[in-house]
Amino acid sequence: MEQRKKVLVIGVIGADVHAVGNKILYHAFTQAGFEVVNLGVMVSQEEYIAAAIESNADAIVISSLYGQGELDCQGMREKCNEAGLKDIPLVVGGNIVIGKHDFAEVEKRFIAMGFDRAFPPGTAPETTIQALRELLHMED
Amino acid sequence: MKPVLLIDFGSTYTKLTAVDVDSEQILGTAAAYTTVQTDINDGLNKGLAILRQKTGDIEFSECYACSSAAGGLRMVTSGLVPELTSEAARLASLGAGAKVVGVYSFQLTEDDIEDIKETKPDIFLLVGGTDGGNTECILHNAKMLAEMKPSFPIVIAGNRSCARQCQRLLEGCEVYVCENVMPKFGVLNITPTQKKIREIFLNRIVLAKGLSKITSLLSDIMMPTPSAVLQAMNLLAQGCDEETGIGDLVAVDVGGATTDIYSIADGMPKAANTVYKGLPEPFSKRTVEGDIGMRYSINGIVEATSIQRVSEISGLSVSRAEELIKYLSENTDKVPENDGDDLRKLDFALASLAVETAVMRHAGTMEETYTMMGLTYVQAGKDLSGVKQVILTGGSIIHSPDAADIARSALYSPMHPMSLRPKEADIWVDRKYILAAMGLLSVHYPGAALRIMKKELEKNGYSKQENL
């Protein structure tokens, strides 16, 4: 029996319609051997969770490009726990806050919100793929 | 001449339609009370006698039937997430012509099992999880169902990774395994399940409901009535090899107890700045509004709208409208007799509101959202605004002289700008009540069925809502 691929649920959160990066990530993750459930743009927290339940996802990858990411992501971990997705890895990346901030600070804030990893703008897909492999204990 | 007899065993009436497929004409129609409690043949023979008075003594070369008698095809479904696999299961059952009497999500509880025992469905549809996705829920539910030792057949159409395991859990029960209704996230695959449901209906339910006594007369087709209507609507919209259809359409069937809506259209977003949300809906979609009907569900219409609107549209005072509604809910067989009487005015208002409410629930919605990139539209459900054909049927309203005006309530209205109903459309009225019969005929004679529909449906001109 062939081994089950790791399943990622991806999408752009909130009232954000930046579709290009989302498509690039979809192709990059698929190429890297993941099974990708792509929810596209303007995704609500509930939609990520519903998709992750049905597809028995291994991780949720949230993108945000329009600066409201912190607001949109608040409560995501709690909702996942409530829905039975306890300890599902949550990864976030993009222009997740407005203005110039030290990213280490930003990352800390997202980790405090229950995210496992946060990535700054301009992160290469390979970096995220590597992080996901580590998070999901995948062997090369 | 090649006469074919088409029978629709309804919950109240057995309706017969005699067709000559050579000349593509309706020879006659007749109706008699359905007699499912005693012998279903009694009602049928009575109907045949009435029919033969009109057509003369003819021998039918073939005979096909559909049925919604004895409660129709009652189904209960269970899925995982309400908006996803549970919704897919519901859509699959409705499209197969079933009456969905229970929808469950997540893991079934002991109380749910008690309810299901009570409900005694004809078929149970068990789904959950995309292929390779969640298995926990459907396995749990299979186990719960197995413990209750169900007397009804179970169709398994969930995550393929554990379909066989579910089947083993349900050993000793009547179980059928189908392809997943939602194999991938957001992808509907309901046709294989619907085919299986129809097979079970034919082989098992028909026998159980005392309809088998008539099989000597029948050639081979037997399907739930809504399924026959859906087939007719598919044919009318899309055509067949020898004849073109009339294009995308919405059909409204207003009954005494429920209102059925059919749409044959893609309905996906047309503009680039529109984002689609939720499960994509089937090209051929059927919904049933159990609380909207002209007599048994008359109060449902008022609850879904308001007595003020009934009064406004009918021109009757609120107290007079209330009085008549109470009367009709107790005297469900009353129909308006004279033009201009209060009952006719009230029925016009009720039918218009029934059509409006049911089509609004069936159609999708469009919301405006301002994003950093400017105005964006979020669409949920089917966009039927470009549909140009509306068909009106239903025993209680097709004889109304106001039928075309009633059908206009299916169209876009500025009162509900978010509802994606047809903007303007040709109105067709099924005066002879032949849609189910034509669905049956279409299985072997699609060309004839389509041409008869085009000929017999009364076209009431181009119509659109005012103030557009």
The CATH number that applies at residue A21 is 3.40.50.280
Taking a C-beta distance cutoff of 8 angstroms, is the pair B427, B404 a contact? yes
Task: Judge residue B374's burial from the number of C-beta atoms within 10 Å of its C-beta, 0-12 exposed, 13-18 middle, 19 or more buried.
Answer: exposed
- With a cut of 50, say whether residue A39 has pLDDT above it: yes
- B67 reaches A (C-beta below 8 A): no
Q: Is residue B111 part of a domain?
A: yes
Residues B290 and B327 in one domain: yes
Q: Which residue has the tokens 């073939």?
A: B62
Q: Are B57 and B36 spatial neighbours (Cβ–Cβ below 8 Å)? A: no
Question: Residue B118: what pLDDT?
Answer: 96
- The number of beta carbons lying within 10 Å of the beta carbon of residue B131 is 18
Are the beta carbons of A42 and B275 separated by less than 8 Å?
yes
Q: Which residue has the tokens 């469905």?
A: B121
Residues B101, B52 within the same domain: no
Residue at B444 is within a domain: yes
Which residue in A4, A15, A56 is closest to B369 by CB distance?
Answer: A15
Q: Is position A101 annotated as part of the catalytic site? A: no
Query: What are B254-270's pLDDT values in tens digits?
Result: 988 899 999 999 999 98
**What is the CA angle A131-A133-A134, rounded to 5?**
65
Number of domains comprising chain B: 3
pLDDT at B72: 82
Residue A83 touches partner B, C-beta closer than 8 Å: no
Same structural domain for residues B316 and B427? Answer: yes
Q: Which residues of A touch B185 (CB under 8 A)?
A: 9, 37, 39, 51, 54-55
Say whether pLDDT at B207 is over 80: no
Q: What is residue B468's predicted lDDT score, i.e. its pLDDT?
A: 39
User: Residue B367: its chain A contacts at CB < 8 A?
Assistant: none
- B177 inside domain: yes
Query: Which amino acid, one-letter code, is at A103?
Result: F
A75 assigned to some structural domain = yes
Q: Which helix (H) or strand (E) element contains residue B283? A: none
- pLDDT of B221 reads 64
Domain identity same for B78 and B65:
no
**To which residue do tokens 């691929």 refer?**
A5
Lowest mean per-residue pLDDT among B62-71, B104-113, B146-155, B296-305: B62-71
B residues 292-351 lying closer than 8 A (beta carbon) to A = none
Average pLDDT of chain B, as a whole number:
91
Note whether residue B313 is domain-resident. yes
Would the pLDDT of B351 be above 60?
A: yes
Least confident of B133-147, B169-183, B220-234, B317-331: B220-234
Q: Which residue has the higher pLDDT, B208 or B357?
A: B357
Task: Please report, rounded to a whole number, the percentage of residues in chain A having pLDDT higher than 90.
Answer: 81
> What pLDDT does residue B397 have?
81
Is residue B227 assigned to a domain? no
pLDDT of residue B67: 87
Q: Is A16 a residue of the active site? A: yes
More confident residue, A134 or B210: A134
- CB-nearest to B371 from A16, A39, A57 is A16
Sequence-distant (≥ 6) Cβ neighbours of residue A124 within 8 angstroms: none
**Mean pLDDT throughout B45-59?**
92
Tell me the pLDDT band of B215, cut-offs 50, 70 and 90. Answer: low
- Identify whether B229 is part of a domain: no
Instruction: Judge: B133–A54 Cβ closer than 8 Å, yes or no.
Output: yes
Q: What is the rounded distance in angstroms from the CA atom of residue B207 to the CA atom of residue B308?
A: 47
CB proximity B84 to A under 8 Å: yes
The range of the structural domain enclosing residue A119 comes to 7-135
In this prediction, residue B464 carries a pLDDT of: 55
ipTM for the predicted complex comes to 0.87
Chain A within 8 Å of B133 (Cβ-Cβ)? yes
Claim to verify: residue B266 and residue B336 sit in the same structural domain: yes
CB A7 to CB B133 under 8 A?
yes
A40 part of contact set with chain B, CB < 8 Å: yes
Please count the other Cβ atoms lying within 10 Å of the Cβ belonging to residue B291. 15
Q: In this structure, are B284 and B428 located in the same domain?
A: yes
The SS3 assignment for B229 reads: helix
Residue of B nearest to A9 (CA): B185
Q: Output phi, psi for B337, to 5 deg.
A: -105, -45
Q: What's the pTM?
A: 0.90
Report phi then psi at B140, rounded to 5: -60, -45
Number of domains forming the structure of chain A: 1
pLDDT tier, B210 (very low <50, low <70, confident <90, very high otherwise): low
Average pLDDT for B342-357: 95
- Mean pLDDT score across all residues of chain A: 93
- Both B262 and B323 in a single domain? yes
A88 domain-assigned: yes
The rounded distance, in Å, linking the Cα atoms of B33 and B46 is 8
B225 domain-assigned: no
| pLDDT band (50, 70, 90) for residue B465 | low
Pairwise CB contact (< 8 Å): A16 & B369: no
- Say if A27 falls within a structural domain: yes
Q: Is residue A2 included in any domain, yes or no?
A: no
pLDDT digits (tens, 9 = 90+) for B172-183: 999 999 999 999
Average pLDDT on B362-373 reads 90
Give yes or no: residues B65 and B85 share one domain.
Answer: no
Same domain, B145 and B60: no
Among the listed ranges B61-65, B310-314, B458-462, which one has the minimum average pLDDT value?
B458-462
What is the tens place of the pLDDT at every residue in A55-96? 999 999 999 999 889 999 999 999 999 899 989 999 999 998
Whole domain around residue B318: which residue ranges?
235-464
| Nearest chain B CA: its distance from A94 CA (Å) | 15
Nearest to B253 by CA among B283, B230, B284, B223: B230
Nearest beta carbon to residue B130 from set A4, A5, A54: A54
pLDDT at A117 (0 to 100): 96
CATH of the domain at B184: 3.40.50.2300
* Nearest Cβ partner for A54 among B134, B275, B373: B134
Residues of A in contact with B132 (CB under 8 A): 4-5, 7, 35, 55-56
Q: Please answer yes or no on whether B81 and A66 come within 8 Å at the CB atom.
A: no
Asked whether residue A1 is assigned to any structural domain, the reply reads: no
Q: How confident is the model at residue A1 (pLDDT cuts 50, 70, 90)?
A: very low
B244 shares a domain with B382? yes
Mean pLDDT of B68-75: 84
Residue B210 region by backbone torsions, left for phi larger than 0, else alpha for psi between -120 and 50, else beta: left
Residues B304 and B343 in one domain: yes
Residue B40: which CATH number?
A: 3.30.420.40
Region B13-32 average pLDDT: 94
- Locus of tokens 């752009």: A12
Asked if the structure places residue B380 within a domain, the reply is: yes
Strands A7-12, B374-380: pairing kind: unpaired
Q: Which of A7, A15, A50 sits opposite B84 (nearest CB)?
A: A50
Q: Is A26 part of any domain?
A: yes
Interface test with B, best of A16, A43, A44, A53 (most B CBs within 10 A): A53
* A24: closest CA of chain B, how far (Å): 18
Does the pLDDT value for residue B463 go beyond 60?
no
Shortest Cα distance, chain A CAs vs residue B82, angstroms? 9
Instruction: Say if CB B188 and CB B160 are below 8 A apart.
Output: no
For residue B309, what are the CA distances in angstroms to B185, B314, B330?
41, 8, 22
Task: Clarify whether residues B181 and B320 are in a common domain.
Answer: no
* pLDDT attached to residue B43: 87
- Please report the pLDDT score of residue B272 as a whole number: 85
Taking only the tens place, the pLDDT of each residue in B136-164 is: 999 999 999 999 999 999 999 999 999 99
